[in-house]
């Protein structure tokens, strides 16, 4: 597991796409499998927040309970500074904007997804296009809130779902969504930037004009 930041309070790992944070009922590897090698005392570590299984990038792990509480407060109060990169199908007509679209969980049988719902809690994301190749756009998202699947639903609401997001119209394949950067304004602050994962590299480079 690639560690992007570490001190005695916490570490930030570069979670691979496809690796769940929690162990599932069916077994298989998860981020929690690494906890024994990161443990510093009788208790911990703890997940300070979550990432979807198919999302790659920055994930904060608390090594001390005091830091866990401080980090959870940052997320709950909207003080955590999060940056996501996503490769979208097509190119938005605008180059930047703010999406204010409340979303709620909708379950049908054993399947579920998040859907727009004006009665749901707020879900707000700032976004801007970093570059495009005419067929895809690399978009940077700054979520002001932390709802489940928020970036995925908001990207789809632009009419341009994330590549590989079969749930929200992006087609099959690996999800092109990266938790690119995170900064927690604790004292002292912690921050890290995740590299672009291999499955996103080609389209990111094409959109940025570096390929």
Classify residue 160 by its DSSP letter: -
Extents of the domains making up the chain: 3-208
CA distance 161 to 165: 7
Q: Does the domain spanning 3-208 belong to CATH 3.40.50.1360? A: no
Tell me the two tokens of residue 16. 């691979």
pLDDT at 139 over 80: yes
User: What does the pLDDT look like over 18-52, one tens digit per residue?
Assistant: 999 998 777 789 999 999 999 988 899 999 999 99
pLDDT tens digits, one per residue of 76-130: 999 999 999 999 999 999 999 999 999 999 998 889 999 999 999 999 999 999 9
pLDDT above 70 for 211: no
- Report the run of H or E that residue 71 belongs to, with start and end: helix 65-76
Q: What is the pLDDT of residues 143-165, one digit of tens each?
A: 999 999 999 999 999 999 999 99
Work out the pLDDT band at 75, boundaries 50, 70, 90. Answer: very high
The whole-number pLDDT of residue 42 equals 87
For residues 80 and 182, the answer to whether their CB atoms sit within 8 Å is yes
By residue count, the chain amounts to 211
Burial class (CB in 10 A: 0-12, 13-18, 19+), 43: exposed
What's the pLDDT score for residue 156? 98
Which residues are marked as active site? 52
Q: Is the dihedral of CA 102, 105, 106, 112 positive or negative?
A: positive
* Predicted pLDDT of residue 183: 98
pLDDT for 11 beyond 80 = yes
Helix (H) or strand (E) holding 35: helix 35-38
Q: 66: Cβ–Cβ under 8 A, 6 or more apart, which residues? A: 9
Please tell me the pTM assigned to this model: 0.95
* pLDDT score for 163: 98
| Average per-residue pLDDT for the chain | 95
């Amino acid at each position: 597991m690639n560690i992007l930041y570490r001190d005695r309070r916490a570490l930030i790992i570069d979670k691979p796409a496809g690796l769940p944070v929690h162990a599932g009922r069916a077994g298989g590897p998860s981020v929690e499998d690494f906890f024994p090698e990161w443990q510093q005392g009788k208790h911990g570590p703890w997940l300070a927040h979550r990432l979807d299984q198919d999302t790659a990038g920055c994930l904060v792990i608390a090594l001390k309970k005091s830091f866990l509480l401080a980090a959870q407060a940052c997320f709950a109060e909207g003080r955590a500074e999060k940056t996501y990169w996503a490769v979208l199908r097509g190119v938005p007509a605008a180059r930047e904007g703010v999406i204010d679209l409340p979303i709620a969980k909708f379950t049908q049988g054993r399947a579920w997804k998040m859907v727009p719902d004006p009665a749901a809690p707020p879900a707000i994301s700032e976004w801007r296009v970093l570059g495009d190749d005419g067929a895809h756009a690399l978009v940077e998202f700054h979520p002001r809130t932390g709802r489940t699947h928020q970036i995925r639903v908001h990207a789809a609401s632009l009419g341009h779902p994330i590549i590989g997001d079969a749930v929200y119209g992006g087609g099959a394949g690996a999800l092109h969504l990266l938790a690119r950067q995170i900064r927690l304004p604790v004292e002292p602050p912690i921050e890290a930037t995740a590299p672009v994962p291999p499955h996103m590299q080609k389209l990111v480079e094409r959109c940025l004009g570096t390929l």
